[in-house]
Amino acid sequence: MSPRNPVLVLAVALAALATGAARAQDNAVSPVLILPPTPPPNVVATYPAQDQTVAPGVLILKVAFDQQMSPAAWNYAPAPGAEPMDCVKTPRLLSDQKTFVLLCRVLAGKTYGVTFNAQRAGGFANLGDNPARAAALTFKVDARDPVTTVRRAMEAAKLAPDQMPVQEAPPVAAALAVVAGR
């Protein structure tokens, strides 16, 4: 056997491996998740409930859907003919992936209203980006003693301690240390 034959055999083997690798890449599966079509999500529960009367002060608005929802998609607006609520801008999606909570303040003697998905674009949507059906909620606030703490507002909304409507951000120094790799 001449010294060139082993080189030729090696070259043919490498070419066969390269062809096999190219075929394997042609058959590679993309890591894209495609969800089947779903019906639009529906609101199944709220706090306060429709037409409920609550105490003034701190209020945690709670809205639950019948499907897992996207944490980045939400839209709420004042309901026609009712007072707009004074709330933080962004609701929090709880760990059940179906319930949003929003920290608000309400005043005595007023009727408040909120519409969920008044504008479908950018509104509450499930994991398949299917927008929820629009829903409206109105409730009254009486003149009893006000709720003055978030803890009492959470109890009224029947929320557990780990379902706080706002999450604390990590301290800036700790976040910078993580970024710097310390």
Q: What is the pLDDT of residues 32-53, one digit of tens each?
A: 766 677 899 999 999 999 999 9
The verdict on residue 49 lying in a domain is yes
Residues spanned by the domain of 94: 43-160
**Banded model confidence at residue 121, pLDDT cuts 50, 70, 90:** confident
The verdict on residue 146 lying in a domain is yes
Q: What is the pLDDT of residues 62-106, one digit of tens each?
A: 999 999 999 998 999 999 889 999 999 999 999 999 999 999 999
Q: What is the pLDDT of residues 123-181, one digit of tens each?
A: 999 998 899 999 999 999 999 999 999 999 999 999 999 999 987 665 555 555 555 55
The verdict on residue 38 lying in a domain is no
Number of domains making up the chain: 1
Decide: residue 51, CB within 10 A, 0-12 exposed, 13-18 middle, 19+ buried: exposed
Q: What is the pLDDT of residues 3-32, one digit of tens each?
A: 455 555 555 555 555 555 555 556 666 677
Q: What pLDDT score was predicted for residue 166? A: 85
Q: What CATH number should be reported for the domain holding residue 96? A: 2.60.40.1220
The verdict on residue 24 lying in a domain is no
Beta carbons of 123 and 131 less than 8 angstroms apart: yes
Q: What pLDDT score was predicted for residue 122? A: 75
Phi-psi category of 181—alpha, beta or left, where left has phi over 0 and alpha has psi -120 to 50? Answer: left
The verdict on residue 3 lying in a domain is no
The verdict on residue 166 lying in a domain is no
The verdict on residue 92 lying in a domain is yes
The verdict on residue 15 lying in a domain is no
Residues whose CB falls within 8 Å of the CB of residue 65, separated by 6 or more in sequence, listed in order: 41, 42, 43, 44, 98, 99, 124, 126, 132
**Banded model confidence at residue 107, pLDDT cuts 50, 70, 90:** very high
